[in-house]
Every structure is written in C-alpha cells, then in structure tokens.
Amino acid sequence: MNFVHIADMHFDVPFTTLNKNDLGNKRRLDQREAFRKIIEYIKQNEIEYFFICGDLYEHEYVKQSTIEFINNQFKEIPSTKIYIVPGNHDPKIKDSYYSKFNWNDNVHIFDSEIEKISEEDVDIYGYGFDNFYMKNTKISELKIENPDKINILLTHGSIDGGYDELREYNPMKEQELNQLNFNYIALGHIHKPYYKEIGQKVIYPGSTIALGFDELGNHGMIVGNIDESKKLEIAFVPVDKKEFEEINFEVSEVLSKEELIEIINNQNWNENHYYKIILTGKRNFEIEPIEILKYVTANNIIKIKDETKLPLDLEKIAKEESLRGIFVKNLLAQKTSENEEQILRAIELGLQAM
C-alpha cells in the first residue's frame, strides 16, 4: 500500500509577521498551489491513502470558501481514501467544519476517541483533538488488534516534550510509540520535518509550506510505501516553491546607512526565497532596521534585525573619572558567565542614553 502524509497546512493563517507588500495574501495563494501539487501527485501516482495529521486549517480564521476549495480538491482524487485527524488549531468541536460540513465521500475524519478503520490491506487507527488542548494522551489505550496486517496510527501532538513544555498538546514519548509496533505512525504538530528514509517509523512531515522565519529549509510531504513483507520505504518531497532564509551581514567595515543600503541592494537575491537579514559586528553609525528596510529594493527581504554592538573599549571606559566610567565599572563588576550578555546590553543601552 502507498500513501502521502502531510500535516500543518494551516489554511487561512493570518501570516501577521509577513506585513511587507501584502505577502500574507501571497503566502495564502502559495498554500493553495502547494495543495494542488499534492493532489496532482496523488492523482498521477495513483496513491491509495492520503493522511492529513492535524491543523489542516485555522478554526478561528478559515473561510467557508477555503473549505469548499479543499473539498473540491478531494473530489479530484475519488479513488484515494483520505483520513484526517483534527489538531489543536482545527479541533473537531461543535461548530467546526469537521462537524457541520458535508465532506466528499472519500473523506473520513477521526474524533477524540480511538477508532480503527479496517481496509483490505491495512488497519488504520486514529484520534484527534476535540478542543484546543489535549492533556491526556490515548497511547495507553492503544493496542493492535490484528498484528498480521499492516497497521498505521494517525494522530497530532508532541513527542518527548517537543517545544510544548509549558502547554499540553497530546504529549507522547517516541519510545512508547515505537513499542506499540505500528508499521507507520503519522504525526502532525511539529513544523520541522522529522524523518529518516530508513529505519524510522514515527514521522513528522513538518508544515506543508513554511509559515515564517522559524521554519527554515524545505517543506512538503512524506511519500511512503509498505509492501506485503511490511517493509517501509519513505521519501520527503518538497512542494513549497518558496523558502525562508536568514542571512548574516557583517557591518564592521560599513561606514554609513547609505553604504549599507547600497550593499544590500547590490546583492543577487534568489527570487524564490524570503530573507531575514541579521546585521552583526561593530557598528559605526546608528542603525534603525525599519528605516533601512524602506529603501531596500528587493521585495523578498522581509525583515532586518540589528544584532550589532557599539565599538567600545569597556575596560578603558571603566578607568575614566566620569559618570560613564563609574557606570561601566559598576556594571562590569556584576558580570558573570551567566549574565554577561544582559550586562553588556545594559551597558550599551546606558551609554547610548548618556
């Protein structure tokens, strides 16, 4: 049996951090294009199963027209069986589209109770969110009923803490998941792909398209096949035509704002990337990132972040018989390996104020 596994599409997410040149709307169009690519891949390769592991859309923001778009795409692959587990951004609650919309016949949506669907060649288990949080994982309730068949588990949540230590989104441990002896465990929630093409069965495909600068690198879908001997083969297939990238700019030799803007504008930027420029080194002039961004001609440069330092000899200043000398001396006396960054930043801000 073959399958495609995606998660975390987040249709109609606001993209509030992409506020330059209406890029939020452009990324929403990119979402649709990526989804069409997936459907076309499924159609062309006669994929039997399509697993969508949570956060397909944003419950708070999604429009019915977007739901109609998704369902119309599902109609393009009538022979493919589509299984959806709701996530924390699209829980199956009373007023959700999972509950009130008439989905196509080839779509099955799991709820918060563990359910097993028996197909001819595979048993598919799944459970999802019925609220925006899920504190009690269902792992202890899971037991494979027919170990002779191919068995697959679909859910949405974090494993081994993930980045959800202060929140609870169906917390699980990878070791416990592996001990369940499923042939494939399709997960969603973590936006960075987590997979190995050989030997790993607990898989995150990552977000289908990158949603911001905390999601660098390629994004797409997992394509898999499990043969009669239960041998698993998977591959990651990119579907996002854009990529977010961070670039460090050393400015110690740059003497003015105008020179910096010229340097940025004269770079050969990849039109398929969105860029965040991080300015580093010792600065020789006052840097205002928002002001600099106004004069950058490349529309795909989204952010400029200032991480430069003042070109200061703090030991020399601390010896001065002046207010700033006393200020620097006192703060340097408080510096430890744990608070060094905070102390140096306080000195910089204080000297700027003086």
Q: Is 258 left (phi over 0), alpha (psi -120 to 50) or beta?
A: alpha
Give tens-digit pLDDT for 8-52: 999 999 887 676 667 888 899 999 999 999 999 999 999 999 999
Cα-based distances in Å from 352 to 39, 150, 153, 209, 328: 56, 66, 57, 41, 12
Give tens-digit pLDDT for 158-212: 998 755 555 689 999 999 999 999 999 999 999 999 998 888 999 999 999 998 8
Mean per-residue pLDDT of the chain: 92
* Locus of tokens 């996002």: 240
Of residues 321 and 232, the one with the higher pLDDT is 232
8 Å CB contact between 286 and 298 = no
Alpha carbons 21 and 300: distance in angstroms, whole number: 9
- Give, as one character, the DSSP assignment of residue 127: -
Structure tokens at 142: 């899971």
Beta-strand ranges (E) seen in the chain are 2-6, 49-52, 81-84, 107-109, 115-118, 122-126, 150-154, 184-186, 202-203, 220-226, 232-238, 243-250, 273-280, 301-306
Structure tokens at 86: 């709701």
Give tens-digit pLDDT for 234-287: 999 999 989 999 999 999 999 999 999 999 999 999 999 999 999 999 888 888
How much is the pTM?
Answer: 0.85
Q: Where are the alpha helices (DSSP H) in 218-256?
A: none
The 10 Å CB-count burial string (b at 16+, else e) for 50-87 is bbbbbbbbbbeebeeebbebbeebbeebeebbbbbbbb
